[in-house]
Structure 1
Amino acid sequence: MGGFFSSTSIPSSRQRQQLPPVTALHSHPAAPTPHRHSPLARAGLGWFVLLVVYASLYPFAGWTDTGVSPFAFITAPLPRYNTGFDILTNVWGYMPLGMLTVLAVHPRITGWRAVLLALLGGLVLSGAMEAIQTYLPTRVSSNVDLATNTLGALVGGIVMVPFSARLIDRGGLRRLRRRWFEPHATFAILLLLAWPFAQIFPQEFLFSMGGVIRSILLDPSPDAFVVNLVNSWFPGLFDWQDKLQAHPEALQRQELLEALITACSWIGTGLLATVAMRRDAPVLRLLAALLAGALVVKGGATLLQFPASGAWDWLASGARFGLIVGSLVLVLLVRLPRWLRGALAMTLLIVLIILSNVLPPSPYSWVSAQAWRLGRFVHFNSLSQWIGWLWPFLGLGYLAWRAEQTQLQRRDSKRPD
């Protein structure tokens, strides 16, 4: 009997002396919450600064020294061409800068000092952009822009200060980040946050991304060798464009192509997201939120760009069919092993890049893109286009890095100690 209970027997007198008192186990105050920093907030702040620089100095051409001081705009008369929309856009545009600054400097700088730093950051960044715009004939430096941008950074800092400790130290984003995503998924999270904005610019088909090869490196028309190769596999694939006006079946073929590209892009993006998620994460709800966010952002941008048109005119029947089929397929594929989901995601993103560069553009896409460039957000339109062009390549890079890390971990686990 003694041997059976030896592991749970009553401790000896010497052992009792070494045990801590009962009051020490229950009466001591709770340990203070440790202060943490947020790498994601710091990375987001860096990317946002680059975004502001791009939007403020695009197209980076036509630099001219007119002899005017770059800081002459500060004391210049107030411009008369500013509208309420412009002022509101300037305030909203710099609010994320103030919010990200407060989150990025936590816990080293908190409270009113973090708000002051957000104010100074907005003032310095906006002042530098307005001063540099003096040398761009296509841009106009404005003291109103400087004031409204600084105000936006201040408002963003004030709004975020009460929530910084709650989000970073006591749970919030950090807890959700650890509960839903893998430890090294920061780059994937940034990609997923940028994916809805990659859909703003009107591509040839919904969710068509990666067309930078045809648009920048090659002639805008599809490459003849690739077209002949694809046409040998799928005869008549490129005939629908010439017969679009004369034959209704050509329009149906265009809808099928859009459904194919939309489903391919959405499934590949969704599988990439699942590779970065943990097994116990609410995968389907996160994917639904990602898709809903992309559609809302695209619809809202369309409505702001063209108030007279409908916000959902771009959601054609082929795109709707592709979204429905892609979502149903994703529900089935999320249960596959992680390595297989990663391989399928890489394959689909490669197919998406090929189709986006090979398929002839829709006859209506050129008109839509030209009108889009003349809209209110003219300096953000090219940025959204570049995001759509580069996103699948960045996604492929992440998936390749993730596959390499998995192989290295397996190799290390097989080595003898």
Structure 2
Amino acid sequence: MPDLHTQPSTPIPHRHSPLARAGLACFVFLVVYASLYPFAGWTDTGVSPFAYLSAPLPRYNTVFDVVTNVWGYMPLGMLTVLALHPRITGWRAVLIGLVAGLLLSGAMEAIQTYLPTRVSSNVDLATNTLGALLGAIVMLPFSARLIDRGGLRRLRRRWFEPHATFAILLLLLWPFAQIFPQEFLFSMGGVIRSIVLDPSPDAFLTSVINSWFPELFDWHDRLQAHPEALQRQELLEALITACSWIGTGLLATVAMRRGAPLLRLLAALLASALLLKAGATLLQFPLAGAWDWLSSGARFGLVVGSLVLVLLVRLPRWLRGALAMTLLIALILLSNVLPPSPYSWVSAQSWRLGRFVHFNSLSQWIGWLWPFLGLGYLAWRAEQTQLERRANRPAD
């Protein structure tokens, strides 16, 4: 029998990270969207798109702008280093991260020359490139630990299913989908009414739901005339909040393994969404309360939804997936056919004038599309489950 103590240790295999590569692609898309929004008013003024490189330094830059530009591009450098591993490592990966930041920021500044609402700036190019460089340097000593032998990789394999990359990306985006003021807390998927059917809800869906629940729409018209209408509004907000939170939580559990700490991960997901929304509100309106959006109806929906979610996580995976799909479909229907809150329009209009005006529409789009992406993942997961069962079924 060979001596195990004298044999050389098995080298740790080098692995790549599909999550890092998918995250890099998503981040580049977000940067392009935020840089070129609102994608309208394109005008050729005869100025070279690279004239900003030799232009005088702008006088309107503030410390806040500089810090935001640096921080905004640091994830690009970090994700570039992680996405290149293990094919390219070390300072070569840092150099590529620097070049990626330079090219992406330079392209965005050049294209902004044709947008009257945007201003190309050599300071923005320099600070964005610096941010990408700093992000790559910060991530350099941790790339191998995170991907090859890091604790995060072990936790990912221990807590999530092998093909849960898309679900993880959805869960990471979910807190950001709550930043923009919705009609009600966690009210997502309202893209149909806001774009296609604006300004009125869909007549067919409205009539169907109104026939089932004839008093559901009365609260909006009688809100100020009757005090009980306010209670109806709170119950409606609690319904939407609970429906959205339970559906999201069940979607998360579908992507998790049996041994994962489901309740702790769900609590962390909910806490991150609430804190991020509070922080964004405080940055937009420093004089306003960071928690004003957390109404009594929203709090009631969160409490009831969390209690129900604790009970539902014990159900079989296929049943959790079916319930998640049902709740997300119900969320989309309610978000598109229910009358808007009388205070939501004022909040949204004020929000558009905040400090992050070019990111506001992006966060709104994430909230609009998230339930549809979640439904797509759940449908794909159900199909994969059926294929696995057929493959494991003994042949006749």
- TM-score of the two chains, using structure 2 as the length reference: 0.98
Per mean C-alpha deviation after superposition, the further-off stretch among 221-230 and 88-97 is 221-230
Shift of 1:217: 1.2
Structural RMSD (CA): 1.0
Per mean C-alpha deviation after superposition, the further-off stretch among 290-299 and 104-113 is 104-113
Shift of 1:154: 0.8
Shift of 1:235: 2.1
Shift of 1:304: 1.0
User: Which residue does 1:317 correspond to in 2?
Assistant: 296
Find out whether 1:66 has 2:45 as its counterpart: yes
Find out whether 1:49 has 2:28 as its counterpart: yes
User: Which residue does 1:334 correspond to in 2?
Assistant: 313
Match of 1:197 among 162, 166, 176: 176
1:229-240 to 2 correspondence within 5 Å? 229-240=208-219
C-alpha distance 407-63 of structure 1, shift in aligned 2 (>3 A): same
User: Which residue does 2:287 correspond to in 1?
Assistant: 308
Per mean C-alpha deviation after superposition, the further-off stretch among 113-122 and 219-228 is 219-228
**Which runs of 5 or more structure 2 residues have no equivalent in the other structure?**
none
How many residues were matched structurally?
396
Per mean C-alpha deviation after superposition, the further-off stretch among 175-184 and 29-38 is 29-38
Shift of 1:171: 2.7
Shift of 1:415: 4.2
User: Which residue does 1:21 correspond to in 2?
Assistant: 2
Per-residue CA deviation, residues 138-195 of structure 1 (Å, 9 max, x unaligned), is 1000011001101110111111111111100113222111100001111100000000
Per-residue CA deviation, residues 86-126 of structure 1 (Å, 9 max, x unaligned), is 11110110000000001000112212111111111101100
Shift of 1:65: 1.0
Match of 2:266 among 287, 291, 299: 287
Identity, % of aligned positions:
86
1:236-275 to 2 correspondence within 5 Å? 236-275=215-254
Match of 2:157 among 166, 169, 178: 178
Query: Using the alignment, how far apart are the partners of 1:395 and 1:211 within structure 2?
Result: 14
1:25-174 to 2 correspondence within 5 Å? 25-174=4-153
Shift of 1:373: 0.8
Query: Using the alignment, how far apart are the partners of 1:21 and 1:239 within structure 2?
Result: 81
**AA in 1 matched with 2:144:** A
Shift of 1:416: 1.1
**AA in 1 matched with 2:250:** L
Per-residue CA deviation, residues 197-225 of structure 1 (Å, 9 max, x unaligned), is 01111010000001011111113222233
User: Which residue does 1:13 correspond to in 2?
Assistant: none
- TM-score of the two chains, using structure 1 as the length reference: 0.93
Query: Using the alignment, how far apart are the partners of 1:236 and 1:336 within structure 2?
Result: 33
User: Which residue does 1:5 correspond to in 2?
Assistant: none
Query: Using the alignment, how far apart are the partners of 2:83 and 2:43 within structure 1?
Result: 36
**AA in 2 matched with 1:380:** F
Match of 1:217 among 196, 212, 218: 196
Shift of 1:393: 0.6
Which structure has the larger Rg over C-alpha atoms?
A: 1
Per mean C-alpha deviation after superposition, the further-off stretch among 376-385 and 219-228 is 219-228
Query: Using the alignment, how far apart are the partners of 2:123 and 2:203 within structure 1?
Result: 52
**Which runs of 5 or more structure 1 residues have no equivalent in the other structure?**
1-19
**AA in 2 matched with 1:299:** A
